[in-house]
Amino acid sequence: MEEVREMIGYEIGSCMLGTVLVATSERGVCAILIGDDADGLVRDLRARFPHAALTPSAVAPEHLAKVARLIASPRSGLDLPLDLRGGEFERRVWRALQEIPVGATQTYGEVAQRIGAPQSAKEVGEACAANALAVAIPCHRVVRKDGSMAGYRWGVERKLALLKLEGARLGATVDLFEGH
């Protein structure tokens, strides 16, 4: 049996994009997952934190409410500490994404340029796909260089809904490729 290395509490609720799971560690919110199926979100959480003891109904109700408010109104911000889990490159990408203003988009190449890795647009996409903090780390604001939609970890339809909600100007085409 694997050794439990940490405790992670989670709560599942509803938001304007479907079902949302909010998970917290002792350092802060470590996952915001969005989907259609609570069981699928719990499986995703378990896969992301295989050595953690997961405790349902162990997140303060106000945390779930704040996340749901962030999703419905991205300009409201999220005043909760985040527990970013990833390599140094991923964390650099995620910090850069947090600097993209609400309603704006940047291309994968522009983000790569901003973090000082101009040849790393593909790796920026991979960092977006690895993001466990939907909306709080706004990977939905990253688009292809022609302005069209690339995939989104939680479904391109949700990406499009978030961008429309934020008032972003969108490219003419949407590619339903899922994965970023």
* Residues taking part in catalysis: 139
Q: Report the distance separating Cα 155 and Cα 71, nearest Å.
A: 15
Torsion of CA 142, 146, 149, 151, to 10 degrees: -70
Q: Report the distance separating Cα 175 and Cα 120, nearest Å.
A: 21
Nearest to 111 by CA among 122, 159, 103, 10: 122
123 close to 79: Cβ distance less than 8 angstroms? no
